[in-house]
Amino acid sequence: MLSQSSVQALARLRAYTPPPTQWYNCPLTRRAAVLILLFPDRYGELKVVLTMRASTLRSYAGQVALPGGKSDSLTETPFDTARREACEEIGLPTTDAKLPAGFKVEHLCELPANLAKTELGVRPCVAFLCPSAPASSSTSPPLISVEEKMIPRLDPKEVAAVFTAPFHNFLRQKWESDGPGPVQKNGKPEKWYRGSWTDWHESRWRMHNFYMPRQDSRLNSRTVKSRPGPSQSGSGAGLLKPEPSGGAEGEGAMDPLGDLTTFRVFGMTARILVDAARVAYGEEPEFEHNSHCGDEDMIGRLLKMGRMSESVKKGEELTNEVLMAASKL
């Protein structure tokens, strides 16, 4: 049911052992985790689930992100955090027992923690949403049902849209996947990848920008419709077909994404996806990139100098001066 490249990618992820992490040395207020949820499309190729954050959020509003958030307790593991947040944001059940019959979520591995500008240690957790029965079993659901039968509920307070993207394409310079490529608002073709070098972490840091086509919502994006009155989710077929959260669509319903033609995947989210794909497929990207994965060393240095403390100040962000001081430790 899976393509050979997908089988090999999952095997590499299962076998991956990350370096020692600073995540558990961070105070609770500085711990966060995201879920890289992979699933097979009808051709057996891996896709990844992404969200677009609601415009009303205080941080990173309107940006594309992986499902995830801050930890609730010191006993919560990164995967516990990522799975709980995915439940809150896109309705993915926290336990396999609550999944539709025939499905399970396999925890494949964790990647080195990344450093957010808000002084969070963000631990990426990779998981595989798959049929629970063996592929040879007559009871095993076909791959297409992975997209058809999973029905999360979007939380309109946190998530404006959920969409899926071809996982292997995060190693590619050009759009190579099935379906039309990205286009600009004027209808002209858009590049799949744009990148540039910038200064961050007291070193050269590659900023990745991917432009995921926003295809018909019935195919790959699930937008939250909004209008005065009870919040509600849009409809459509596929892995992320939302259930209504109250009220019915009527005249005046508005698409919060407007005339958006692409979802821009950039910053830490793009970097995490590139690193995860590097591990999974055992190959380097076609574009320039940072060779190291995560920011474990810098997180350790910041902790050593007393940064990333339990107390979180409003608007607090890392500066180049702080990072310079940490790099000299």
Q: Of all residues in the chain, what percent carry a pLDDT higher than 90?
A: 54
pLDDT > 50? residue 229: no
Structure tokens belonging to residue 116: 């957010």
Q: Contact, 158 vs 69, CB < 8 A?
A: no
Output the CA torsion 144→150→155→159 (10° steps): -30
pLDDT in the model for residue 314: 78
pLDDT band at 103 (very low <50, low <70, confident <90, very high): confident
pLDDT in the model for residue 145: 53
Instruction: Strands of 158-237 (E only): list them.
Output: 159-166, 193-200, 203-213, 221-223
User: Residue 225 CA to chain centroid, in angstroms?
Assistant: 22
pLDDT in the model for residue 150: 56
Which stretch of 42-56, 179-193, 214-228, 239-253 has the lowest confidence by average pLDDT? 239-253
**Tally of domains within the chain:** 1
211 domain-assigned: yes
pLDDT band at 34 (very low <50, low <70, confident <90, very high): very high
**170-206 pLDDT, tens per residue?**
999 999 988 899 999 999 999 999 999 988 756 788 9
Query: What's the pTM value of the predicted model, to 2 decimals?
Result: 0.85
Find, among 10, 35, 22, the residue nearest to 94 by Cα: 35
Query: What average pLDDT is seen over the chain?
Result: 81
- The whole-number average pLDDT for the span 53-63 is 62
- The whole-number average pLDDT for the span 4-27 is 98
User: Residue 176 CA to chain centroid, in angstroms?
Assistant: 20
Cβ atoms within 10 A of the Cβ of 20, count? Answer: 10
50 domain-assigned: yes
Find all residues with CB under 8 Å of 85, minimum gap 6, and list them: 33, 34, 35, 67, 68, 69
CA–CA separation, 68 vs 14, rounded Å? 21
Which stretch of 171-175, 191-195, 289-293, 323-327 has the lowest confidence by average pLDDT? 323-327
- The whole-number average pLDDT for the span 16-29 is 97
68 domain-assigned: yes
246 domain-assigned: no
Helix and strand element counts for the chain (H, E): 6, 12
96 domain-assigned: yes
pLDDT > 50? residue 319: yes
240 domain-assigned: no
Spell out the alpha helix ranges (H) of the chain.
4-15, 78-90, 144-149, 267-281, 296-304, 320-327
User: Residue 40 CA to chain centroid, in angstroms?
Assistant: 16
Question: Is residue 137 packed enough to be buried (19+ CB in 10 Å), middle (13-18) or exposed (0-12)?
Answer: exposed
**Residue entry with tokens 């100098």:** 305
**245-262 pLDDT, tens per residue?**
333 333 344 555 778 899
222 domain-assigned: no
Cβ atoms within 10 A of the Cβ of 207, count? Answer: 14
- The whole-number average pLDDT for the span 314-323 is 82
Q: Domain limits at 31?
A: 4-216+259-308+317-328
pLDDT in the model for residue 163: 86
Q: Which residue has the higher pLDDT, 227 or 114?
A: 114
- The whole-number average pLDDT for the span 5-21 is 98
CATH number at residue 126: 3.90.79.10
pLDDT band at 327 (very low <50, low <70, confident <90, very high): confident
The DSSP symbol for 94 reads S
pLDDT in the model for residue 153: 53
249 domain-assigned: no
